[in-house]
Structure 1
Amino acid sequence: MKVLPRRRGAVLLNSALGVALVGAAALAYTTLDSGTEKTAGKTQVRTATVAKGTVLATVSGTGTLASPTDAGQDFTTGGRLTAVKVAVGDAVTKGQVLATVDTTAAQQQVDAAQSALTTANANLTKAQAGVTTTTTQQIPGSSGNGSGGNAGSGSNNSNNSGGSGNSNGSAGGSGGGERGAGASSAPAPQATVPAPQTTTITTTKVDEAAVAQAQQQVATAQTTLANAQAALAGTTLTASVDGTVASIAGKVGDTMGGSAGGSTGTAKSTGSTTGSGAPSGFIVLTNPAGMQVTANFSELDSLKLKKGESATVALNAQSDTKLNATVLSVSSLPVSSGGSGGAAAVQYAATLQITGDTSKLRTGLSATVSVVTGEADNALSLPTAALAGTGASRTATLVHPDGAAERVTVEVGVEGDTTVQVVSGLKEGDKVELATTSGTNGFPNGSFPGLNGGQGGQGGRAGAGTGGVAGVGAAAGGAGGGGRGGNR
């Protein structure tokens, strides 16, 4: 086809412009891509400065508040409730009567036990007295003896001798002298026989086995009476501590059960408690004085806890309320709590004493506890991320003022939550390199998203701007990664 001169000039002009645009697009792509690669190759160095401050190491746990003087009060003797002498919200003092149950059955048991003791005491007295017997016996050697004899006479002999009496009291023998001639004789006197002498003997015999049995009966009766008297006293419920009546679980006419333990103690005693750690009972008394918090800690953190360490308690319901506390004790027995996937996480409980004003606190409030396990005041410190390694000896990259970097060994002390104490190896004001990131724009490859594709779009627009060489523009745009210009 024959081309007119004017038409031919326009075609040549458009062709020249297209070639120029292709060259410009290629040059722009090369320049931008090269610049992007150079930027991506650079790394940004961040540093931290060694400075003086306080380094705190803490561990955290969660728990609930409870007062050691909170108490659940229960009757020791059950029965029909006859009186409730307090109401919820009343302030009571230790020993004050709170309520009573019917005493009829308890009083009957006391009367019966007292009667049994009286009988047992009488039996013991009788057994200790024993059995007494009386007998009469003749005193040995108390029989009568005869004496004297008849006097004898003779005409020529005046000496007469009388025989002695025998043991039977008979008259003695005749005198041994012969009668004198012409003498007369006289009858001998009769001897007197005395009565035998006797004595009365009284004997008391004590049966030791009977005494021991009677003593055992007395002891049993005394125990029975003491128990009956305690049961009678248990029909009256008194406050075991000072406090405020928090709840009453019954009304007059209800039948109350008895408990051997009587008034229960705090959540940490053998008394009954609720799931929140608060005590339970017919009447519950609370007292915020001496409020404590029991919190659970992970097994690793629990090993760092020691008695006397200071802590901060934050109430979950009042996040702006911060309370000071001190660790009282750490349990050596684990408590398990549900973990992810059904696994149980082992934890250990610690009890902390809250200091300061606790008058507005309530039993059962949930709290987060932060315990200071290590502290270094006015110490050189660095962010933990500036050091590499673990333990007391670590390494850091020291950046000198001229930009030169040097690897140094750093001895550390207290390792805080975000900072660590520098003991040696660095001085105040030193700059230490932190973890590096590549690029200057915060993007992984150092370039803006769509930068290369944008070049293609620009090429396309350049081609369309010539007013007739769309294909050239599309080709130029395609060199940049996008050929949208050819469609326009």
Structure 2
Amino acid sequence: MSRSPRRATVLLLACLLLPPLTAASCGDEPSGVTVGTAGRGTVDEIVEAAGSVTVRAAGTVTSPADGTLEELRVDAGDRVRKGQVVAVVDSPAAEKRLDDATEALDAVSRGGVSPGGGAAAFAAVRRRTDANAGRAFAAARKAAAEVTDATLRKALLAQVTAAEEQYAAVSAAAGAAVRSLESGVASVAAAVDALTAAQRVQARQAYELAEAAVDALTLRAPVSGVVQLGGTASAAAPSLTDLLSSADPAAVGTPAAAPPPGVDVAVPQGAAVGVGTPILTVVDTAGLGVAAEVDETDVLLVKAGGSGTVELDAATGATYEARVRAVDLLPSTSARGGVSYRVRLTLGRGTYADGTAAPVPRPGMSAIVRLRVRQATDAVTVPAGAVVSRDGRDGVWAVRGGKAERVPVTLGVQGEDLVQVVSGLGAGERIVVAGADQVSPGQDLP
């Protein structure tokens, strides 16, 4: 079908007036092939990964013993300082152990070992003293090991170990004195002094360990931050990626039953608690971060100090700046069976496209992280769609003498829209920028 003169003139003018970067091939029918030029500019290579918002620190305060939540001095949403008293647990069992240890210490302080009975009696006294010390240390170690607060547990276990080492020294001295008495080398007075010293050390240590267990019933904030009653689904982790829980207060006076997986309940004041029952969680929101799972094929490009952006499902249209803080050395297996590595980022402020401030995220929110891993400035660039790969080699279709010629190129930084050409092509050369899959060698191109 013939064109009208007016339409032919319009098409001719369009072909002549289109700029080089967007000049379309002008034949009898549109071909979908677009000719432009290689440019020069900056290319950013982006690695994209899924992640979630994390907090800098969070700690769950748990009951160190069986008893009753006697005092709850804070409420949900309160801000507390590290070390501030937040709750007190009443434990009759721990109080009784302290009372018994106090009585034993008073008894030893009032009198020592009787000098009567001979060497056999002294040996029996030493065995009883060692047995009492062993029971006291075992009970203290068991109680300390049941404490779920890692910092408190470590401190209590260290105290037990130090007490055991101290007692071992005085017990060895007492044993040496008894053996010397049995062989007739040492006097009765020396054996009495050594055994009395061992008894006093044992009683003093039993008292101090029992006192430490009672002191631990006064619960303090492990970090500065905001209070959330109850625990979390991942309360043991120092950096939480899911800080969401549902409140379901237990009835007053009844033990707090173990919550179902992923759900913790708030314990009201006056409720019975067991060892490890979560009372409250303190979340430090002063420094929010993001934990992203980066595929093994990309993780070697990610370096500490690198920058990126974060988008949240909860804040559509907002972009948050982020900086890489660390890249984990050990991998994790993704749900699809692949290997990924956790990249930890510091989260900055966010803005919407119009410049207004974005809301402060909450821990656990889903995020898409885009990491700028490489950048090339003042580079020869072509659109990503201009690159065609064949037999493992990259190339572009250049327009030379009005015909298509495939030119091999070496690529550098590869962005989402533009890629860097390291060699094989110069800026300003005419190339096929779209529809490269429709081009064949020697094809006529305008």
> TM-score normalised by the shorter chain: which range applies?
0.5 to 0.7
Partner residue in 2 for 1:327: 324
One-letter amino acid matched to 1:322: T
Instruction: Specify which of 229, 233, 247 is matched with residue 247 of structure 1.
Output: 229
SS of match in other structure, 1:289: coil
Alpha-carbon distance change, 88 to 41 in structure 1, aligned in 2, over 3 angstroms: closer
- Other-structure match for 2:214: 232
Aligned to 1:355: 348
Match of 1:364 in 2: 364
Provide the TM-score with structure 1 as the length reference.
0.54
Find the structure with the greater CA-based Rg: 1
Tell me which moved more, 348-357 or 391-400. 391-400
Displacement of 1:373 after TM fit?
A: 1.3
1:223 and 1:359 map into 2 onto residues whose CA distance is 54
SS in 2 for 1:56: strand
1:387 is displaced (CA, Å) by 2.9
- The match for 2:23 is none
Deviates more, 1:101-110 or 1:367-376: 101-110
- The alignment yields a C-alpha RMSD, in angstroms, of 3.7
Amino acid at match of 1:258: V
Aligned equivalent of 2:141: none
Q: Alpha-carbon deviation of 1:223?
A: 3.5
**CA 1:41–1:348 in 2, change beyond 3 Å: closer, same or farther?**
same
Q: Which amino acid aligns with 1:307?
A: A
Task: Kindly indicate whether residue 438 of structure 2 is the aligned counterpart of residue 437 of structure 1.
Answer: yes
Whether 1:221 and 2:218 are equivalent positions in the alignment is: no
Q: Does 1:416 align with 2:411?
A: no
Q: 1:206 to 1:354 in 2, by over 3 A?
A: farther
Which runs of no fewer than 5 residues in structure 2 stay unpaired? Answer: 1-26, 120-184, 231-265, 351-357, 440-446
**Aligned counterpart, 1:156:** none
- Contact 2:67-2:92 within 8 A present in 1 as well: no
**Whole-Å Cα distance in 1 between the matches of residues 39 and 196 of structure 2?**
88
Query: Which amino acid letter does the alignment assign opposite residue 398 of structure 2?
Result: L
- Decide which moves more: 320-329 or 45-54: 45-54
Q: Tell me which residue corresponds to 1:310.
A: 307
TM-superposed CA distance for 1:216, in Å, is 4.9
CA contact (8 A) 2:65 2:91 kept: no
1:408–1:425 contact (8 Å) kept in structure 2: yes
Which of 99, 118, 121 is the equivalent residue of 1:111? 99
Distance 1:352 1:426 in 2: 38
Match of 2:74 in 1: 86
Which residue number in structure 1 is paired with residue 424 of structure 2?
425
Q: Alpha-carbon deviations, 1:72-128, whole Å to 9, x = none?
A: 11122331122211111222222222121225443332232234345556777989x
Q: 1:167-316 to 2 correspondence within 5 Å?
A: 205=187, 216-248=198-230, 249-259=266-276, 281-316=278-313
Work out whether 1:398 is the aligned partner of 2:398: yes
Residue 229 of structure 1 aligns to a residue whose secondary structure is: helix
What is the Cα deviation at residue 305 of structure 1?
Answer: 2.2
Distance 1:412 1:251, change over 3 A: same
1:393–1:117 CA distance, 2 compared to 1 (3 A): farther
- Distance 1:209-1:419 versus aligned 2 partners, 3 A rule: farther
SS where residue 231 of structure 1 aligns?
Answer: helix
The structure-2 alpha-carbon separation of the partners of 1:257 and 1:44, relative to structure 1 and needing over 3 Å to count, comes to closer
Instruction: Note the alpha carbon deviations across 1:196-249, whole angstroms, 9 max, x for none.
Output: xxxxxxx98267777666555444434422321121112211112111222241
**Structure 1 residue 45, shift from structure 2 partner:** 4.2
CA contact (8 A) 2:222 2:282 kept: no
Q: Give TM-score scaled by structure 2 length.
A: 0.59
- Per-residue CA deviation, residues 312-343 of structure 1 (Å, 9 max, x unaligned), is 1111111222111122222233333333xxxx
Q: Distance in 2 between matches of 1:414 and 1:313?
A: 21
| Contact persistence 1:117–1:218 (CA under 8 A) | yes
**SS of 2:102's equivalent?**
helix
The answer to whether the 8 Å contact 1:286/1:363 transfers is no
**Contact 1:75-1:236 at 8 Å conserved across structures:** no
Aligned identity (percent) is 31
Task: Say yes or no: does 1:98 pair with 2:86.
Answer: yes
Partner SS state of residue 65, structure 2: coil
- Paired residue total: 303
Deviations 1:347-393 (A, max 9, x none): 32221111348982211111111111111123221123323448997
Instruction: Write the deviation string for residues 429-478 of structure 1: whole angstroms up to 9, x where unpaired.
Output: 1112351438xxxxxxxxxxxxxxxxxxxxxxxxxxxxxxxxxxxxxxxx
Q: Aligned to 1:377, what secondary structure does the other structure show?
A: strand
